[in-house]
């Protein structure tokens, strides 16, 4: 490497390092949640199945001054009871949520409201259905979020109420939608 390029490289590295405080590097954390589900269907069914959603995974929170962007990678499990027949469905959910924050106690406690898009990718279904071709590999949801964060300087602890509105079919040619109301908690470092 020529000396002039090396000096330019060192200068660029010095500028980026000293300006590092100005870049929003965000916080990594863990998100976990559980809740209840609501069916939206035109089908004539005697009793709605009981669905128990649960999710856990990694989260990344990017604070851009006025707006926060959260990206999660969640293992999502729906355990359902259809009149004694139990089934579980596992998906990988990757919600991207934009939030607007309101400081309640500046530097300590804040509230947030946001929305985004959440694709969920099919991983497994147990017991395996006879025709797996009918299962959609990707289902899209719109999460609407109301939350509160407690900033403890070293870590941020947050709770959220998420309404997950299903946009696309999870089974081909079935207009049934399963919406979720989730209580989520997260710890960010």
Q: Which range has the top average pLDDT, 74-88, 92-106, 130-144?
A: 92-106
Residue 99 · residue 67 · CB < 8 Å: yes
Is 48 inside a domain boundary?
yes
For the segment 161-171, the average pLDDT, to the nearest whole number, is 89
Is 103 inside a domain boundary?
yes
pLDDT band, very low/low/confident/very high, at 21 (cuts 50, 70, 90): very low
Is 4 inside a domain boundary?
no
Is 154 inside a domain boundary?
yes
For the segment 99-128, the average pLDDT, to the nearest whole number, is 92
The pLDDT score that the predictor gives to residue 2 is: 61
Domain boundaries, position 115: 26-188
For the segment 47-52, the average pLDDT, to the nearest whole number, is 76
The pLDDT score that the predictor gives to residue 87 is: 84
Closest among 162, 150, 153, 155 to 29, alpha carbons compared: 155
Is 162 inside a domain boundary?
yes
Domain count of the chain?
1
Is 10 inside a domain boundary?
no
The pLDDT score that the predictor gives to residue 176 is: 74
What burial letters (b/e) apply to 116-145, b meaning 16+ CB within 10 Å? Answer: bebbbebeeeeeeeeeeeebeeebebbbeb
Distance CA 58, CA 111 (A): 21
Is 67 inside a domain boundary?
yes
What percentage of the chain carries pLDDT values higher than 70? 77
For the segment 96-109, the average pLDDT, to the nearest whole number, is 94
Q: What is the mean pLDDT of the chain?
A: 84
Is 12 inside a domain boundary?
no
For the segment 64-83, the average pLDDT, to the nearest whole number, is 89
Residue 142: CATH number of its domain: 2.40.160.20
- pLDDT above 60 for 175: yes
Distance CA 182, CA 46 (A): 25
């Amino acid at each position: 490497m020529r000396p002039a390029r090396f000096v330019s490289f060192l200068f660029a590295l010095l500028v980026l390092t000293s300006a590092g405080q100005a870049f929003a590097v965000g916080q990594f954390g863990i998100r976990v949640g559980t809740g209840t589900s609501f069916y939206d269907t035109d089908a004539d069914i005697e009793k709605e199945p009981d669905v128990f959603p649960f999710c856990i995974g990694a989260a990344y929170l990017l604070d851009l001054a006025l707006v926060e962007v959260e990206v999660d990678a969640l293992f999502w499990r729906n355990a359902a009871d259809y009149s004694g027949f139990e089934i579980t469905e596992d998906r990988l959910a990757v919600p991207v949520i934009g939030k607007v924050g309101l400081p309640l106690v500046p530097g300590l406690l804040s509230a947030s409201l946001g929305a985004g898009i959440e694709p969920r990718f099919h991983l497994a279904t147990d017991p395996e259905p006879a025709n797996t071709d009918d299962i959609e590999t990707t289902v899209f949801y719109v999460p609407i979020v109301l939350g509160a964060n407690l900033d403890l300087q070293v870590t941020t602890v947050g709770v959220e109420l998420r309404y997950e509105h299903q946009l696309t079919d999870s089974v081909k040619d079935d207009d049934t939608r399963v919406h979720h109301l989730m209580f989520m908690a997260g710890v960010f470092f």
